[in-house]
Amino acid sequence: MADLVWLHEDALRRTHPVFSAAASGARAVFVWDNSYLDAALIGLKRRMFIYETLAGLDMDILAGTADKVIATLVAEAHVTRLFVPATPNPAFHALLSSVRSNCPDLEISVIEDTSFVALGEPPDLKRFFRYWNKAKKHAMRHGGVLA
């Protein structure tokens, strides 16, 4: 039984609970998928941030269409369990649905994390800047909780 951790841009750290959920020594990957990054409206500056952050982590950065790359890894490495960090991103949910369709026997676990800030409404995912303008007002408060 092999485990695989599929990291995305909303969980770029080794302390994310997804790593404790998977078996020790599980392979961790980030798939650099330009079509996904475009669909998620991730601009050049954010892409640079993502890449620089990934370069400091001990994981593989693979290029290609994410759902196809993951399906290939599952088949080649006989992966039985896939662990992914939770995200509100609909573009990532579409990729995950495709992986579920392509790998029906694969056990997929979506691992939640504690948010560093609690917003009163779902975040605006169209632009990181809009999200951060709302979140930064509360991020430095005790517990990051909206008062």
Q: How confident is the model at residue 146 (pLDDT cuts 50, 70, 90)?
A: very low
* pLDDT over 90, % of the chain: 63
Q: What gap in Å lies between CA 128 and CA 73, rounded to an integer? A: 30
Q: How confident is the model at residue 39 (pLDDT cuts 50, 70, 90)?
A: confident
Residue 139, pLDDT > 80, answer no
Domain 2-113 sits in CATH at 3.40.50.620
Q: How confident is the model at residue 115 (pLDDT cuts 50, 70, 90)?
A: low
Per the listing, tokens 């994310």 go with 16
Q: Where in the chain is the domain with CATH 3.40.50.620?
A: 2-113
Contact 138, 132 (CB under 8 A): no
Ramachandran sector of residue 41 (left: φ over 0; alpha: ψ -120 to 50; beta: rest) = left
Q: How confident is the model at residue 147 (pLDDT cuts 50, 70, 90)?
A: very low
Which among 31, 21, 42 is positioned nearest to 73, based on CA atoms? 31
Query: Higher confidence at residue 41 or residue 96?
Result: 96
The token duo for 105 is 């026997």
Q: What is the mean pLDDT of residues 99-117?
A: 89
Q: What gap in Å lies between CA 107 and CA 119, rounded to an integer? A: 31
